Amino acid sequence: MIKSEKTNKVNLIKEEFENNNGLIFADHSNLKSDQSVLIRDRLYEIEATLMILKNTLASIAASDSFKDMDLSGIFKGPTSVIVSHKDLIATAKVLKDIAKEFDILKLKGGIIEGKFVNADDVNKLASLPSREVLISQVVSGLISPIYMLVSVLNNLPQKLVLTLSAIQKEKEKIN
């Protein structure tokens, strides 16, 4: 590769590193070309991309983009960078499913909100419920006390009516 091509490639990688919702690094030692196409298709559906890069170019781009992090250990051996453009949790879930299905893409770590996280943290992220489920849990948590209040307020007149009805029946028995 000519030096200008390498510079352009590093600039493109830096742009991907800086404009995303999160990065996940994985070892792709056993990855075959047909599997990479399948992975790219699955990632495309959730607005994420798989980048198989030269370690030297990725390392240069990472040192420029993440000056306060030492990522030299990440870019050893065959390393893929998965860039999430929208939903990092969905991306982690897809990668976890792919890793189980094909026994490929061993996670090395990731960068979330400008901080490096290890592979265990990425796996924990993958085990979180989806965004929609989390939102529904929050909404149901907010609605539950209101529902209980309405139920209690609704039961008060009902109990009053039942009590008055019982008193009326008692008076009818006496008369």
With a CB cutoff of 8 Å and minimum separation 6, the contacts of 11 are: 61
**Are residues 28 and 87 located together in one domain of the fold?**
yes
pTM: 0.70
Q: Which residue has the higher pLDDT, 131 or 39?
A: 39
Q: What is the pLDDT of residues 96-115, one digit of tens each?
A: 888 888 777 788 888 888 88
- Residue 175 pLDDT > 70, yes or no? no
Given a contact cutoff of 8 angstroms between Cβ atoms, the answer to whether 12 and 51 are in contact is: no
Give me the percent of the chain exceeding a pLDDT of 70. 99
Mean pLDDT over each residue of the chain, to the nearest integer: 83
Give yes or no for residue 117 having a pLDDT over 80.
yes
pLDDT tens column, 157-173:
888 888 888 888 888 88
Q: Which domain holds residue 141?
A: 129-175
Whether residues 141 and 79 fall in one domain: no
Contact yes or no for 26/80 (Cβ under 8 A):
yes
pLDDT value at position 1?
A: 62
Domain count, the chain: 2
CATH, residue 51: 3.30.70.1730
Residues 35 and 50 in one domain: yes
Looking at the structure, do residues 34 and 112 belong to the same domain, yes or no? yes
Q: Do 134 and 58 lie in a common domain?
A: no
Each residue's pLDDT tens digit, 121-154:
888 888 888 778 888 888 888 888 887 878 878 8
What are the structure tokens assigned to 60, written together? 């240069």
pLDDT bucket at 87, cuts 50 / 70 / 90: confident
Domain co-membership, 29 together with 80: yes
| Res 50 pLDDT > 80 | yes
User: In terms of domains, do 94 and 63 share one?
Assistant: yes
Q: Which of 57, 59, 37 is nearest to 49 (CA)?
A: 37
122 and 138 both lie in a single domain? no
Tell me the residue type at 24: I
**Helices 3-18, 55-65: inter-axial angle, 10-degree rounding:** 50
Q: Are residues 36 and 44 in contact, defined by beta-carbon separation less than 8 angstroms?
A: no
Q: Say what angle helices 88-102 and 119-126 make with each other, to 10 degrees.
A: 100
Average pLDDT score over residue span 7-11: 83
